[in-house]
Structure 1
Amino acid sequence: MNQLPIFVNLRGVRVILLGDGEMADAKRRLIERAGGLCVGEDVRDARIAIVALEDESEAVAAVDRLKARGLLVNAVDRPALCDFTTPAIIDRDPVLIAIGTGGASAGLAKALRQRLEAMLPAGLGKLAKALDAARDAIRRRWPGGPERRRAIDAALAPGGPLDPLTDRDENAVADWLEQGGQGVASGLYTLTIASTDPDDLTLRQVRLLGSADLVLHPFDMPGTILSRARADAAMRVDDSEAEESGVVVRLVWAKTEESS
């Protein structure tokens, strides 16, 4: 991961936009859709700038001036000059899915957005709002943070009662709470990995990796497999002596088991 994805609240925020024509118009629509205010370079309280100038030398000079002021700058179609890039967006308010390639290919990001858009139910935003409205009830049902996270993970897993890729009725969250659904229990789970291709992981393996507080792995486990774990999960080369609390996932190679 060579960039940190973040969502910036632009409502009422002044954003410098330089340029005219199709490129600048597209960025203006994006900024205004997010509630931002497009302003010129002379506005001093702006903190973000987008340079949509066709001329290369003019664009480079503008980026240099704006960066010298301490602004974060996006230069359209010039990833080497960018402090940040603008992703392809799927909007299921309040769910917002951003797809970026680090500036490598806007066309690829767009193609992925179009494919993923067709997979996501129109009611996904309603599910998010229902979960938000039930926040206090969820905390009462599962007072402990790790326990609560595991219950939510289980509910949102493929085939779960709140599977986000399946349309549910408006009472789905209330029904789930009433039924007292449980998540992945604390303990040690050993997963046998037979392939370096993450697409070969089973649904159970993906679910456990996504719920893990700690992942123990062989020194030669590929990053492509480890990347399927929670982004904030602790990871450590397996020393076979760990005694940890929470959900601990131990990855082993299939060949290791066969040879033992």
Structure 2
Amino acid sequence: MHSLPLFFRIAGRPVILLGAGEAAQAKRRLIERAGGIAVGEADEAASLAFIALDDPEESAQAAGRLRARGILVNVVDQPALCDFTTPAIVDRDPVLVAVGTGGASAGLAKAVRQRIERLLPPDLGALAQALAEARAALRARWPDARQRRQALDEALREKGMLDPLGERPADAVRLWLDGAGEDGPADRAETILLTSSDPDDLSLRAARLLGEADRILHDPTVPETILARARADASRVRLTSESPRPAGPGLTLIVTWAKAS
């Protein structure tokens, strides 16, 4: 990974925009849609800049001047001069999905974004907002952060009560909280037998289990590229030669969860 994906809050803040053509207008719309204020190069309060000038040499010079002031720069159609790139965005406010290629191909990012757009239901943002408004109730029900995360993981899983891609009543979060004390996720363990060291060969189920588990027990030779698919806060334990494991070829991953009640 050559870039760090971040979301900048620019509402009410100045963002430098240089240029007047179609590309510059597209960047202006992007800035204003996020609540930012497009300003000129002289603005001393800006920390981001978009350069959409017709002359490549003029663009490079402007990028150098701005970068010398500590400003992060995006130069249209010149990825080598960019400190950051703008992804293709799926907007389900407040949920944003960004697809980037590091400037390699805006067309590819757009094509992937269009596929994702069809998958995400229009009410996904409403679910996020309902969860935000229920934050106090969640903390009251599960004061421990780990327990809270476990309960949410269970509700948000595929076919769970709050499945983000499934059908839900408008008051799904309230209904879930009303019945949350009855059924929490149980202690459990799942075994994943890897047939390849390539993370792209993980099944959808294996990738989901890795992304949800609290603890990962793994063969010492399981590559870091696969372990990276687990949550960053999941603990990792190397299996020893004496550790029990299923028969058959392949590398073993054992993923475990703790009860959230």
TM-score > 0.5 by shorter chain:
yes
- The letter for the 1-side match of 2:173 is V
For 1:77 and 1:216, how far apart are their aligned partners in 2?
A: 45
SS for the counterpart of 1:97 is strand
Q: Aligned runs of 1:1-260 on 2, under 5 Å?
A: 1-180=1-180, 181-183=183-185, 185=187, 189-196=190-197, 198=199, 201-202=202-203, 204-235=205-236, 238-240=238-240, 254-255=248-249
Q: Deviations over 1:154-195 (max 9, x none)?
A: 11111111110113111211121222242363x664322234
Instruction: Measure, in 1, the Cα distance between the counterparts of 2:245 and 2:20.
Output: 53
Q: Take 1:206 and 1:184, find their aligned partners in 2: how far apart are those partners? A: 20
Distance 1:150 1:74, change over 3 A: same
Query: What's the RMSD between the two structures over aligned residues?
Result: 2.6
CA distance in 2, matches of 1:257, 1:119: 32
Alpha carbons 1:218, 1:251 under 8 Å: kept = no
CA distance 1:178–1:203, shift in 2 (3 Å): farther
Q: Shift of the alpha carbon at 1:110?
A: 0.5
Aligned residues: 248
Change (3 A) 1:204 1:151: farther
TM-score, reference length from structure 2: 0.85
Deviation at 1:254, TM superposition (A): 4.7
Superposed displacement of residue 4, structure 1: 1.4
- 1:208 Cα deviation after fit: 2.7
What secondary structure is seen at the aligned counterpart in 2 of 1:192? strand
CA distance change for structure 1 residues 206 and 182 in 2, over 3 Å: closer, same or farther?
Answer: farther
Partner Cα separation in structure 2 for residue 200 and residue 93 of structure 1: 32
5+ residue gaps in structure 2?
A: 253-261
Separation in 2, partners of 1:5, 1:256: 33
CA contact 1:87–1:100 (8 Å) conserved in 2? yes
- Cα distance in 2 for partners of 1:143, 1:205 equals 30
Tell me how far 1:64 sits from its aligned partner: 0.5
Gaps of 5+ in 1: 242-249
Tell me the percent identity.
55
- For 2:15 and 2:25, the matched residues in 1 are separated by 14
When residues 252 and 22 of structure 1 are mapped into structure 2, their CA distance, relative to the original with a 3 A threshold, is farther
* Distance in 2 (alpha carbons) for counterparts of 1:110 and 1:178: 41
What TM-score, normalized to structure 1?
A: 0.85
- Specify whether residues 257 and 5 from structure 1 end up closer, same or farther in structure 2 by C-alpha distance, changes over 3 A only: closer
Q: For 1:193 and 1:78, locate their aligned partners in 2 and report how far apart those are by CA, in whole Å.
A: 41
Cα separation, partners in 2 of 1:254 and 1:17, compared to 1, 3 Å: farther
Q: Secondary structure at the match of 2:84?
A: coil
Cα–Cα, structure 1 residues 257 and 55, in superposed 2: closer, same or farther, change >3 Å?
A: closer
Distance change in 2, residues 1:130/1:75 (3 Å): same
Counterparts in 2 of 1:172 and 1:209: CA distance versus 1, 3 Å: same
CA distance in 2, matches of 1:251, 1:161: 33
Task: Tell me the amino acid that sits aligned with residue 97 of structure 2.
Answer: I
